[in-house]
Structure 1
């Protein structure tokens, strides 16, 4: 009775204070509004509007726990209030109390079935819970009620983005932009998408627009840093030419620099040019590497085998070292980690010398883990000798930098093996063995190797563990009405002959498209150069999709937009081919004249796809044209190729591990026989 008496006796005063409180609230003066609402509550402790309004204002200020308390109090007064149920659900959502929030917001949606806002709030909860299917379902429902409902379009874009589907994310963000081209969230998400897609120049205008209005916007400033990092090419002139596939120009500069400074680094770059050039053969590469080694590798100073004090029991447990910097990169994770899990610890004592990102997952898998980041060549050599390594496996090799090549030139281990990265010769006698495969390196080609060759059977120098075959949609030609060819390989392999061949292929297949994705294409000047090349060959830019690289899972998802993969030549792909096949994309390749042209062919042969291995450019084009016409085969390949791949040698990890262990044992025994 007293509260009723107070309310009645002070009703005119309460009305005035509430009017002021509402005015403060509407003007964004939240502290003043809350103070005024509290004055009302001092006079009328159960005033529903004041309690509800304090909860709303507290939520707006980020005082979510306080907001929850007041909103629960308001709900106790009016349990049927949709507004309070909605506000309480949002306050709980802000605190991460997702299950509680969902209960309230579902109740709101049931009472307001025609409200896109209510439906979208439920979608938000499911999105935060990780139930993206449900979130998508409710976003679509909200849009069916209001086609230009911006938050739902943005959320659908984010769902696709979270699923690594950049193409469908782009469609949703573009729709949002048409609805409100000035919305900050829309602009930021468009910019984020363009950066992820590998076209940072197209992200710049969106971020610039946001920062012109909100200079301190944290997310936009982070995007601007990413754009700035990716927009400019920090490579030297020779590296820029090399990365663009303009190998002759890169080689000319490399020779000039080598004449001035005959360093290991300069010579290694020249050898990179030899490998990528269609003017040099494997024999040329061998001769160049040997000429340099005889002059600069000091092979006469290599230790005599008798200087190594390793126990010479042919059957004992072997101390095997493995040195490299990309255990943590995607290829290493899928090929090296499974070997670390499966190798026989009774036969091999494995030492991992990692100079890349530190990787805690390796430590429990190997017998000894050595972080050698920052160690000098001399310190590394001393460590290897102290560990008494029998066989050192170099997975970086001579060409991939950084490396410990100069340290390994001193041969700190009695047996040094070139394995994993490139199955070519290192060209120096400090490497006395190479592990290759029985497809890429033929017996008659061993004269271009310094090393003793030991081959892995069945055309693979490593095996892949990618889990269960992915669920992939039908080939894109079914929905877009044209064939899309594609290649996501490094652009240093895309020389002028390759581009000319692809242009001819596009002419032969009317309305077809070419999708290229490579780090080099993040640069607008490079995309323009490639577009101009195709235009000179009669192919307009609207038939090209050119992007820089994306994160691994986003890149894999992008294969859904390719019908037929195209390999490069004379330098073929390795992991690029594996990823394409795994996503259900068949790849056309040319079997090269030496190991560098056979990587893709080895994979294709291993999984029974020899019909896609051409002998020359003419047959390469004919095969691609024929496959483009055979839509039934494209549909079958898309559905079954990954499953088929799991039966190939590249997927038999247990067998690979046992074979690899046997090769290491054979190498050790061979060395013992020839080391006296």
Structure 2
């Protein structure tokens, strides 16, 4: 009725800016963004000083994924009406999505000058600070938000993210739980809680599994549809339409493993459709888009909208690449928009979503037996190994081991600091004590914060390791520079119970052998799987004493260290870890079996 009345008013006088605004606003509420944009643009053409219309236009552009235009509209709205708090808030959020974190910080600080008691302002400022590796400042900003509103779910969630990033895992879990208590429907916070549990060495795989099932029952099960797939071409051998959905089709770890798979798919048997939830596409996004048969940007769309897109595209197999990582779309899969649904690559655990039928893995990371009882999905193990790594084309050449010039062994880890828990620090300290005159290089973005560096130094000091035995390196922006830092490392140490994956592959590509500990869950067996696939199972420890022994033995064998380093790239090139064709053929065979099983079960 509102839309009809606004259109009637405009039929009488098409130059009514207020009517164009009202129509645009009502269309935006109905998520008819293209029409809303036209109406709001007409409003500001008629009345260039219309601040409210520029603000709403910014909102529509933001929800449509047109972030550059959103920023321009918000800036114009502020110029016309400098005191409107919500415009600053939305502008700061969009700048953050674009990666302009310093600009976002400046906007949120301006917001707080206008309203020092803005809970959103303090909470969102923390996000901008965290993105700049200023974790202690971010915590202070969140504490300010929670003093103003102790029940603010967003602030508790953001506090959990900061605490997780700096390795305070128990307190991080508590913050995520508090966020969910404050708002039981806060799906993102609940996913963040689950992701963080994978870092916890004090929780069993069974306990973590139960938490995932609880997430599925609370958030996913109520969305389970009753819409059967009646109009399918039920040919077991026909070309299948496979959709891959991810927020990480960009410069991101997931892209290093999915791009070679997408490029190797057989176009005669599979049509690949990419559903990209990337707010700011980059060169990797464009490269992956060029590989796919069809490309669907879905940033800003609701779960029900994306599910309808999948149904409309007549997808046969939908593949989730995110699990419970940031900006995941598990609630799309909960709606069962495709006959066969698969979890793959991006998350090292079960989704807990009953509507997802299968999870792709292998025999190394998920041995048959207990692993099958720890997943809501049915595990499908690829003989080739479940993943395939694409080395960066600008990787520098492998160098001689640094010990030849430094005359001392340098161990190293380039992993996320959240993975460096108390047990890991204790084990690494044990290695440093056993290997005379050795040192440990830890490279992570968190080291840009002096207070975080001090925390790390203190944790090792508690284990009897002096600061001079540590080399703490912060983020290096360019990939070539990041990889070049491996020239300083003789032996890489894999953390546990949450192993590295990209970091392990990068270390190996740069010639650095990696020592891993085989755990009791997928996240803790990725390192073991990678090393087994490249013919180095002797670098996989069965327990902590073995982990330390292997490090000591390898450090003493300088001839082997040199041989491993200089021959590592050839070793990788001869393994399935870099063989996209063999991994993709195995994956396609698995997809075909899934399709045949679906047809048989849905007669």
TM-score of the two chains, using structure 1 as the length reference = 0.64
Measured in 1, the distance between the counterparts of 2:344 and 2:562 equals 37
Kindly state the Cα deviation for residue 324 of structure 1 after the two structures are TM-superposed: 0.6
Aligned residue among 208, 211, 216 for 1:293: 216
Kindly state the Cα deviation for residue 304 of structure 1 after the two structures are TM-superposed: 4.3
State the partner residue of 1:484.
Answer: 410
| DSSP-derived class of the 2:365 partner | coil
Are positions 1:430 and 2:355 aligned together? yes
Measured in 2, the distance between the counterparts of 1:332 and 1:279 equals 27
- CA deviations over 1:160-186 (Å, ceiling 9, x no partner): xxxxxxxxxxxxxxxxxxxxxxxxxxx
Measured in 2, the distance between the counterparts of 1:578 and 1:298 equals 37
State the partner residue of 1:524.
Answer: 450
- CA deviations over 1:313-363 (Å, ceiling 9, x no partner): 111110110111222225355333333332111111111111114333233
Q: How does 1:271-420 map to 2 (within 5 A)?
A: 271-299=194-222, 302-304=224-226, 306-356=228-278, 357-358=280-281, 359-397=285-323, 399-420=324-345
Runs (5+) with no aligned partner, structure 1:
1-199, 201-225
- CA deviations over 1:393-418 (Å, ceiling 9, x no partner): 11112x21112222222122222110
Are positions 1:663 and 2:590 aligned together? yes
Kindly state the Cα deviation for residue 469 of structure 1 after the two structures are TM-superposed: 8.6
State the partner residue of 2:178.
Answer: 256
Aligned residue among 447, 451, 456 for 2:382: 456
| DSSP-derived class of the 2:232 partner | coil
**2:319, 2:342 within 8 Å by CA — same for their partners in 1?**
yes
Q: How does 1:22-421 map to 2 (within 5 A)?
A: 230=132, 232-233=134-135, 234=138, 236-262=158-184, 263-299=186-222, 302-304=224-226, 306-356=228-278, 357-358=280-281, 359-397=285-323, 399-421=324-346
State the partner residue of 1:114.
Answer: none
Distance 1:374 1:306, change over 3 A: closer
Further displaced range: 593-602 or 468-477: 468-477
Kindly state the Cα deviation for residue 279 of structure 1 after the two structures are TM-superposed: 1.6
Measured in 2, the distance between the counterparts of 1:325 and 1:428 equals 18
State the partner residue of 2:118.
Answer: none
Measured in 2, the distance between the counterparts of 1:601 and 1:410 equals 35
State the partner residue of 1:581.
Answer: 508
Distance 1:306 1:343, change over 3 A: same
Kindly state the Cα deviation for residue 623 of structure 1 after the two structures are TM-superposed: 0.8
Measured in 2, the distance between the counterparts of 1:288 and 1:228 equals 27
**2:243, 2:275 within 8 Å by CA — same for their partners in 1?**
yes
Measured in 2, the distance between the counterparts of 1:590 and 1:607 equals 16
**2:166, 2:446 within 8 Å by CA — same for their partners in 1?**
yes
Distance 1:287 1:670, change over 3 A: same
Measured in 2, the distance between the counterparts of 1:281 and 1:347 equals 41
Aligned residue among 476, 485, 493 for 1:550: 476
State the partner residue of 2:488.
Answer: 561
Runs (5+) with no aligned partner, structure 2:
1-101, 103-127, 140-157
State the partner residue of 2:521.
Answer: 594
**1:567, 1:577 within 8 Å by CA — same for their partners in 2?**
yes
State the partner residue of 1:108.
Answer: none
Measured in 2, the distance between the counterparts of 1:571 and 1:496 equals 13
State the partner residue of 2:15.
Answer: none
Kindly state the Cα deviation for residue 447 of structure 1 after the two structures are TM-superposed: 1.1
State the partner residue of 1:218.
Answer: none
Distance 1:279 1:332, change over 3 A: closer
**1:423, 1:436 within 8 Å by CA — same for their partners in 2?**
no
Q: Which has the larger radius of gyration?
A: 1
Distance 1:355 1:589, change over 3 A: same
State the partner residue of 2:364.
Answer: 439
Measured in 1, the distance between the counterparts of 2:176 and 2:363 equals 33
Further displaced range: 560-569 or 354-363: 354-363
Kindly state the Cα deviation for residue 229 of structure 1 after the two structures are TM-superposed: 6.8
Distance 1:521 1:668, change over 3 A: same
Q: How does 1:487-526 map to 2 (within 5 A)?
A: 487-526=413-452
Are positions 1:646 and 2:548 aligned together? no
| DSSP-derived class of the 2:361 partner | strand
What is the aligned-residue RMSD (CA, Å)?
2.2
Kindly state the Cα deviation for residue 388 of structure 1 after the two structures are TM-superposed: 0.9
Measured in 2, the distance between the counterparts of 1:391 and 1:496 equals 41
State the partner residue of 2:463.
Answer: 537
Kindly state the Cα deviation for residue 663 of structure 1 after the two structures are TM-superposed: 1.1
**2:130, 2:162 within 8 Å by CA — same for their partners in 1?**
no
Kindly state the Cα deviation for residue 308 of structure 1 after the two structures are TM-superposed: 4.7
Kindly state the Cα deviation for residue 641 of structure 1 after the two structures are TM-superposed: 1.3
| DSSP-derived class of the 1:658 partner | helix
Measured in 2, the distance between the counterparts of 1:543 and 1:589 equals 21
Kindly state the Cα deviation for residue 588 of structure 1 after the two structures are TM-superposed: 0.8
Kindly state the Cα deviation for residue 474 of structure 1 after the two structures are TM-superposed: 0.9
- CA deviations over 1:68-104 (Å, ceiling 9, x no partner): xxxxxxxxxxxxxxxxxxxxxxxxxxxxxxxxxxxxx
Distance 1:297 1:471, change over 3 A: closer
TM-score of the two chains, using structure 2 as the length reference = 0.71
**2:517, 2:544 within 8 Å by CA — same for their partners in 1?**
yes
